[in-house]
Amino acid sequence: LADYYTGATIKHLTGQDLARYRFALPPLSEQHRIAAILDKADALRAKRRAALAQLDTLTQLDTLTQSIFFDMFGDPATNPKEWAVCSVADYVEAFQGGKSIESESGDNVVSRNRVLKVSAVTGMRYLPEESKPVPDNYAPPEAHFVKEGDLLFSRANTSELVGAVAYVESTPSNVLLPDKLWRFVWRKNPLRAERLFVWALFQTAPVRDAIAGRATGTSGSMKNISQEKVLGIHTILPPIELQREFGARIATLRRLQITQRRLLTELDSLFASLQHRAFRSEL
Better pLDDT: 145 or 46 = 145
Instruction: Sort strands 165-167 and 181-186 into parallel, antiparallel or unpaired.
Output: unpaired
39: domain range?
A: 25-83+238-283
CB 132 within 8 A of CB 114: yes
Residue 44 lies in a domain: yes
Residue 114 lies in a domain: yes
- Written as one string, the DSSP assignment of 199-219 is HHHTTSHHHHHHHHHH-B-S-
Verify that 218 and 133 share a domain, yes or no. yes
Verify that 108 and 218 share a domain, yes or no. yes
Is pLDDT above 90 for 197?
Answer: yes
User: Which of the four pLDDT bands, split at 50, 70 and 90, describes residue 281?
Assistant: low
Residue 250 lies in a domain: yes
Better pLDDT: 49 or 223 = 223
Is pLDDT above 90 for 227?
Answer: yes
Single-letter amino acid code for the residue at 116: L
Better pLDDT: 271 or 197 = 197
Confidence at residue 20, expressed as pLDDT on a 0 to 100 scale: 72
- What is the C-alpha separation between 209 and 215, in angstroms, rounded? 10
Average pLDDT over residues 68-93: 97
- What is the C-alpha separation between 163 and 208, in angstroms, rounded? 7
Average pLDDT over residues 45-62: 60
Q: Which residue, among 97, 282, 93, 73, has the nearest Cα to 182 in the 3D structure? A: 97
Residue 9 lies in a domain: no
Verify that 172 and 257 share a domain, yes or no. no
With a pLDDT cut of 70, the percent of the chain lying above it is: 84
Total structural domains within the chain: 2
Confidence at residue 246, expressed as pLDDT on a 0 to 100 scale: 97
Task: Count the neighbouring beta carbons within 10 Å of the beta carbon of residue 145.
Answer: 17
Is pLDDT above 80 for 47?
Answer: no
Is pLDDT above 70 for 175?
Answer: yes
Average pLDDT over residues 153-172: 93
Confidence at residue 272, expressed as pLDDT on a 0 to 100 scale: 78
Residue 186 lies in a domain: yes
How far is C-alpha 238 from the chain's CA centre? Answer: 27
The per-residue pLDDT of the chain, averaged, comes to 85
Confidence at residue 31, expressed as pLDDT on a 0 to 100 scale: 75
User: Which of the four pLDDT bands, split at 50, 70 and 90, describes residue 52?
Assistant: low
Q: What is the pLDDT of residues 100-129, one digit of tens each?
A: 888 766 555 566 899 999 999 987 789 999
Confidence at residue 58, expressed as pLDDT on a 0 to 100 scale: 44
Give the domain CATH number at 99: 3.90.220.20
Average pLDDT over residues 174-196: 96
Residue 32 lies in a domain: yes
CB 126 within 8 A of CB 120: yes
Per-residue DSSP letter, 117: -
Residue 7 lies in a domain: no
Confidence at residue 127, expressed as pLDDT on a 0 to 100 scale: 92
Largest CA distance in the chain: 81
Average pLDDT over residues 171-191: 95
Question: Could you give the 3-state DSSP secondary structure of residue 47?
Answer: helix
CB-side neighbour CA atoms (13 Å) of 76:
24
With 0.85 as the threshold, say if the pTM is over it. Answer: no
Verify that 176 and 275 share a domain, yes or no. no
Backbone φ and ψ of 6, nearest 5°: -130, 165
- What is the C-alpha separation between 171 and 113, in angstroms, rounded? 12
Backbone φ and ψ of 228, nearest 5°: -55, -40
User: Which of the four pLDDT bands, split at 50, 70 and 90, describes residue 159?
Assistant: confident
Confidence at residue 59, expressed as pLDDT on a 0 to 100 scale: 47
Q: Which residue, among 176, 201, 182, has the nearest Cα to 86 in the 3D structure? A: 201
